[in-house]
Amino acid sequence: MPRFGEPQHPDFQRLNASIGFDRRLWPHDIRQSRAHARMLADSAIICAEDRDALLAGLEEVERELSEGSFQFAQDDEDIHMAIERRLTEIAGPVGGRLHTARSRNDQVVTDLQLYVRDQSVQAQVAITRVMAALLLRAEEHLDWPMPGYTHLQRAQPVYVSHHLLAYFWMLARDRVRFAGAERATRRLALGAGALAGVNFATNRRLLARELGFEEPAPNSIDAVSGRDFILDYLSAAATCSTHLSRLGAELVLWSSAEFSFCELPDAWSSGSSIMPQKKNPDAAELLRAKAPRVVGHLASLHGVMHALPLTYNKDLQEDKEHLFDVVDTLELTLAAAAGMIAGVAFNREQLREAAADELAAATDVADLLVRLGVPFRDAHGAAAGLVRTALDSGRHLSELSADELARHSEVLAAHREELAQVLTERSWLESKVSEGGTSLARVREQLQAARAELDEGPSA
């Protein structure tokens, strides 16, 4: 007698089903099912003939799925049941033996582990492309001055190369984070059963070796209920997307007429439906907008997992749509970032002119006073007074008279030649000689380190 006295409500079936989105897991489900069938035979749980029939049937199912001819049934709840149904149609009753010694609970986690592992590798590859584009453009613009900003106000000049390399190092850390997400998938869930293990002497270490895992998960409860490897992937994606949003925001600003620091490639720009003169940085804007979407998926899955009793609960079905959307979003945004960086055309003269504002040398004037023996706080105050005088009179610092200099600092008035050298445009950049600074010697060192980082890949 069936457990239930009435059929499922159609709306509950729609709520309960995941086939509409989890079908992308089919390559991983086929892969683990093959390994499982071989393990069952190796462990004498099924005979060799049954194994061969299962493998032949799985090959046909794989062919149909890859060619797009697979016919999904209305009552296929998820990709796992759809594959098992079709396998049984092809192989006959032996198809029902495939699910021996496994549960959908450990089956779906294993599929997701394989999927996250693959996507973590793909993310590292895509990030490397963006890093390579940034490094190439930094090498091409090694000695191009531009203003550096704090609070979106001109602060100190830097080289374009130095600015682009800031994003290189952000992405290098992102690549390491995705390597960590990949490592988080290395303990095999398959064989944990529904939650307590299975009633057969299975060889989980054989499964682990065949599927590329380091070892079986040591606790069956943790194996079926854990989703932290997905959280690790989403966390890496959220940080990476945030970095891309900052790059996108700067490309939007720099390509505006108000900045005119660069022009974005036509292939990554859009026009206006009504204003024919417009060239809109839509791709760069979408780098900004996609980041909170990714962060939202991370927060949502944390919400699903929060206070969730062990072991499996249907809540965990919600892991997939968050994961899949982030995978797709990250793929697109990394491709956009690589394309824009590779094709952006910088305006050297506009950048140089913006970086030539003498007020940006105020810190260098203060540092000159420090070298001449003035305490830094006094030097800072004197430099600020000079800036105020220059602004009030609409002049450059180099145009102030000896009397005006003396009014703020007798020391500066007595060292006008040294002040003139400090106010020489390139000296503002070349004075930044500390390790990691923007002087050309230090940027060349940084480029060498970046090339080594790119070639070596993630180190952690």
User: Could you confirm whether 256 is annotated as catalytic?
Assistant: no
Strands 145-150, 153-159: pairing is antiparallel
Q: How many residues does the chain have?
A: 460
Catalytic residue among 69, 151, 273, 434: 151
Q: Which two tokens stand for residue 140?
A: 């091409």
Measured CA to CA, the distance from residue 449 to residue 169 in angstroms comes to 10
- For residue 321, the SS3 value is helix
User: Could you confirm whether 241 is annotated as catalytic?
Assistant: no
Catalytic residue among 256, 270, 272, 393: 272
User: Do 416 and 403 touch, CB atoms closer than 8 A?
Assistant: no
User: Do 451 and 135 touch, CB atoms closer than 8 A?
Assistant: yes
Q: Which two tokens stand for residue 11?
A: 């709306």
Measured CA to CA, the distance from residue 438 to residue 380 in angstroms comes to 22
Q: Which two tokens stand for residue 126?
A: 């895509």
User: Phi, psi (5° rounding) for residue 309?
Assistant: -65, 150
Measured CA to CA, the distance from residue 94 to residue 58 in angstroms comes to 12
Q: Which two tokens stand for residue 27?
A: 């390559």
Cα–Cα distances in angstroms (integers) from residue 367 to residues 151, 358, 361, 406, 412, in the given order: 22, 15, 10, 17, 11
Catalytically active residues, by annotation: 151, 272
